[in-house]
């Protein structure tokens, strides 16, 4: 009986959910979103994405590919860990990580950014095959332009106060989708969460908080995927062991195991700031450097890769010394036991 409450519902997905589904934002997040959408399918929930979200996906992919192209040009990319040390702690390296992995394939050419962009778009196309693309007129037009501008400015201020991204293109899409959900539900007489038909699924907490502020005392239409997933687990397809099922759900959010070399890498990569090698290279060059940024970027790459190699070598040396020590102690103990046994045998022979 409870399973029927999900049938007929339609969920519209935000771009951040689709990026996670495509695997662009950590493996554990992809697993969690995949499990959520699988459960939606089992419950009879229809999954949609709007033309506004589709446009945001394309512009986001192009933006990040252009940034990687500007940063690397035709040079070989350094590791993600090295780039993380050289970048701001707020930098989004999800697409850089995709590029690093993409270049490892023998059929892909370093510096082929058109090919890389095509690959990213194929990944998006593959994961949205079972979704319904829905096109609507923009709300940034004459009859709704004033309210659109008001909401855009308000959302920008709201996110800025919370130190969240306020990129104009993203704000515009958020307002488009907000007004879309208001339009879809304007004739709804639903009085509770289960009676409402349309919901917008997003991982943007600030966006959700803003929509709640704009629609106080109403049914929340903008919801985290984990909220609906937990409801579905409770009312649809429960297992014989509910505790085990719930633990499995929680485990999907556990991060990857901590890298034991991380501390070593951080310490060694701090030497990059000293820029000793760059200074040495500059003093040995008699010619004029035409592109200073490229020169510095190349020097960063050389220093970073060398320091990482040194860090790994140091840890391996520590492990090797420890293994040798254990081996020597084992040999020593064996010799002592052998000697004791020999003396005991001699004593018995007497």
Predicted model pTM:
0.69
Burial of 201 per CB tally in 10 Å (0-12, 13-18, 19+): buried
Q: What's the CA gap between 204 and 224, in Å, rounded?
A: 8
Q: What is the pLDDT of residue 188?
A: 86
Residues of the chain with pLDDT below 50 are: 254-256, 272-275, 277-278, 285-289, 342, 346, 349-350
Q: What is the pLDDT of residue 210?
A: 97
- What are the tens digits of pLDDT across the range 145-172? 999 999 999 999 999 999 888 888 999 9
Q: What is the pLDDT of residue 350?
A: 47
Q: What's the CA gap between 285 and 296, in Å, rounded?
A: 14
Which residues are registered as beta bridge partners of 49?
133
Q: What's the CA gap between 276 and 156, in Å, rounded?
A: 43
- What are the tens digits of pLDDT across the range 4-63? 788 899 999 999 999 999 999 888 999 999 999 999 999 999 999 999 999 999 999 999
Q: What is the pLDDT of residue 25?
A: 84
Residue with tokens 């095509």: 118
Q: What's the CA gap between 178 and 153, in Å, rounded?
A: 14
What are the C-alpha distances in Å from 148 to residues 65, 141, 222, 341? 30, 8, 18, 91
Q: Positive or negative, the Cα torsion across 220, 223, 229, 230?
A: negative
């Amino acid at each position: 009986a409870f399973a029927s409450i999900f049938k007929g519902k339609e969920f519209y997905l935000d771009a951040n959910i689709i990026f996670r589904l495509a695997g662009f934002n950590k493996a554990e997040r992809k697993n969690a979103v995949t499990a959520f959408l699988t459960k939606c399918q089992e419950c009879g929930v229809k999954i949609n994405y709007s033309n506004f979200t589709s446009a945001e996906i394309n512009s986001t992919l192009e933006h990040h590919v252009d940034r990687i192209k500007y940063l690397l040009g035709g040079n070989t990319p350094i590791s993600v860990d090295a780039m993380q040390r050289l970048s701001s702690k707020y930098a989004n390296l999800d697409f850089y990580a995709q590029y690093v992995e993409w270049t490892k394939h023998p059929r892909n050419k370093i510096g082929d950014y058109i090919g890389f962009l095509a690959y990213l778009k194929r990944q998006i196309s593959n994961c949205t095959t079972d979704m319904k693309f829905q096109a609507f007129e923009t709300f940034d037009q004459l009859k709704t332009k004033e309210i659109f501008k008001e909401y855009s400015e308000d959302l920008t201020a709201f996110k800025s106060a919370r130190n969240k991204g306020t990129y104009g293109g993203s704000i515009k899409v958020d307002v488009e989708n907000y007004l879309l959900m208001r339009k879809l539900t304007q004739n709804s007489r639903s009085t509770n969460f289960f009676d409402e038909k349309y919901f917008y699924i997003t991982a943007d907490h600030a966006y959700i908080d803003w929509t709640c502020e704009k629609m106080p005392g109403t049914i929340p239409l903008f919801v985290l995927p984990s909220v609906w997933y937990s409801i579905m687990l409770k009312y649809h397809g429960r297992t014989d062991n509910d505790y085990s099922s719930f633990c499995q759900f929680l485990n999907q959010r556990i991060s990857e195991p901590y890298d034991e070399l991380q501390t070593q890498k951080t310490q060694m990569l701090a030497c990059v700031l000293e820029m000793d090698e760059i200074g040495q290279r500059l003093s040995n060059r008699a010619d004029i450097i035409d592109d200073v940024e490229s020169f510095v970027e190349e020097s960063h790459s050389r220093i970073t890769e060398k320091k990482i190699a040194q860090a790994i070598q140091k840890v391996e040396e520590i492990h090797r010394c420890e293994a040798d020590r254990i081996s020597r102690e084992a040999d020593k103990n064996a010799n002592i036991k052998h000697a004791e046994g020999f003396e005991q045998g001699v004593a018995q022979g007497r």
